[in-house]
A = this chain, B = another copy of it.
Amino acid sequence: MNKREIAFIGSGNVAWHLARAMDRAGHTVSQIISRKEEHAFELARQFGAYYGTDLSRVYDTVDLCLICVGDDDLESVVTSMPPIQAVVAHTCGPKAMNVLGVKFRQYGVFYPLQSFSKLRPVDMLQVPIMLEASSNAAYSVMRDVADAISNKVSDVSSNDRLKYHLAAVFANNFVNHLYHTSERYLQENQLNFDYLRPIIEETAMKIKSLDPADAQTGPARRGDDHTIERHLKMLQDDPDLRQLYQLFSDRITKQFNG
């Protein structure tokens, strides 16, 4: 393995998991720069790395500078950074690579397709990492680092990455909203959401071995109009929820019985 030196901009959930995985894999994490000094310190102390809040202090001598900030903050961070010579990559799924081209000579995207939380351990080897680079030299550095932490590294263009990100909005953000929706429905009826946790887990685990089409069940899948009608009647005092139920039932019915 080519041992690489890496600086991080950002100290949130993504930086937390990537930096720790890279350190464990034998790379050197030498710097954490973040708006939140305390978070930078918490992460940097684990590797004896420099920490600070001043973007102008970013090392130009590292092999790779990873910008791990929220999608909305990427442009302003780039604007505030000096034009370093190191390879600079961002980790924002929905942001094009060329956001970095305005400032840096060698750049790329290093997108881990996962939802990270500091408190939850992640098996980084299973996390898909999507790479895109402005040059072979930049790619080589990023690939060394990515291969050291994940078994699922692939090359994905900005255009395709946007589509993966959009698909993940459906499979992650919108799925979570359905969890939230069923929780609120049960709370409004003084019932206990905890009873749904096992089926929520099983629904996701099935997708590890089954295609979603084969895993589809329920009244709309069976064409059971009687149950659908009764459910719609149960929701008659909540027009928004009724609309959501109707839309999903129509979509599933159309796919399987249409």
Name A residues whose Cβ lies closer than 8 Å to a Cβ of B: 70-72, 94, 113-115, 117, 120, 122, 126-128, 130, 152, 154, 160, 162-164, 166-183, 185-186, 189, 191, 193, 195-213, 215-222, 224, 226-227, 230-231, 234-235, 240, 243-245, 247-248, 251-252, 255
Contact = CB atoms under 8 A, between A and B. Distances in A.
A79 to B, nearest CB: 16
Given A171-B199, A203-B204, 18 more contacts: A72-B226, A120-B205, A163-B191, A164-B196, A167-B185, A169-B219, A170-B181, A170-B182, A171-B182, A173-B216, A173-B220, A173-B221, A176-B203, A176-B207, A177-B216, A201-B205, A201-B208, A240-B251
Nearest to A251: B177
A198 B251 CA distance: 25
A117 to B, nearest CB: 7
Nearest to A127: B198
Given A175-B178, A222-B72, A227-B94, A234 B195 contact: no
B168 A217 contact: no
Contacts of A196: 113, 164, 167-168, 171
Given A196-B167, A204-B205, A244-B247, A173 B230 contact: no
